[in-house]
Amino acid sequence: MPAKTFALLAIPLLAGSLLLPAAQAGTLIELSAEASRPAANDLLRAVVYAEANAADPAELAKRVNQEIAEALRLIKGKAGISVKSGNQHTYPVYGNNRKIESWRMRSELVLESKDGAALSELLAKLQQMKLALGNVSQLPSPATRRLVEEGVTQDAIRAFEARAALVAGTLGKPYKIKRLNIQQSSQVPPMPMLRAAKMEMASDAAPVPLEAGESQISSSISGEIELAD
């Protein structure tokens, strides 16, 4: 009988404990900080393409694909240069009577290399083969970007901690970090898009001038700290 009495009394006590008010949070302050570091543009990316017009789409595809195949044979013989297929488009060309007069096809190859001199020489040879240069861009390689991102994230975290300590110290209160949000971005200095029409004469093609430069990798941190009351 006493055991039953104890069980009945325990239930309202447990329910009452669930209704206790939560502890009041201290003052919440939102802060942000950022940091940036330069990253070497040690990877070069170039787009070359074959483009032609023809009345017969099958003949057009055969012609363009042959030019791309010849280019691939040359590219794959160059060490340190990777290649993959890019965009490929085939579309009709309409005349004044709104009827299809011919077809136009463009097929791209995307080249990447860390060797600027070798890529520049190869681009000149590809232009001699009647391919056109779409554009050339310079960017950090994945390994370089990853290494710089790790360092700049640490810089941004330290900057956030320093700002939090400054605010808390000025107010004379201890603090703790409640929330952090980390975002990263990169900014590549603008460079002219290197474009060229198809070369009519082999002697017209010359090595493309390439300068790597640097990109700016940034990390920004926003968050919230709580000051003890």
Domains in the chain (CATH in brackets) are 25-42+140-192+214-229 (3.30.110.170), 43-139 (3.30.70.2970)
Tell whether the model's pLDDT for residue 205 goes beyond 60: no
- Provide the 10 A C-beta neighbour count for residue 29: 17
Tokens (6 digits) for 101: 């007069």
The model's pTM: 0.70
Q: What is the pLDDT of residues 114-164, one digit of tens each?
A: 998 999 999 999 999 989 999 899 999 999 999 999 999 999 999 999 999
Q: What is the pLDDT of residues 58-87, one digit of tens each?
A: 999 999 999 999 999 999 989 999 999 999
Long-range contacts at 17-20 (CB < 8 A, ≥ 24 apart): none
SS3 4: helix
Tell whether the model's pLDDT for residue 220 goes beyond 90: yes
Contact 35, 152 (CB under 8 A): yes
Quick one: 36 exposed, middle or buried, by C-beta within 10 A (0-12, 13-18, 19+)? middle
Query: 22 or 35, which is more confident?
Result: 35
Instruction: Give dist(CA 114, CA 80) in Å, integer.
Output: 7
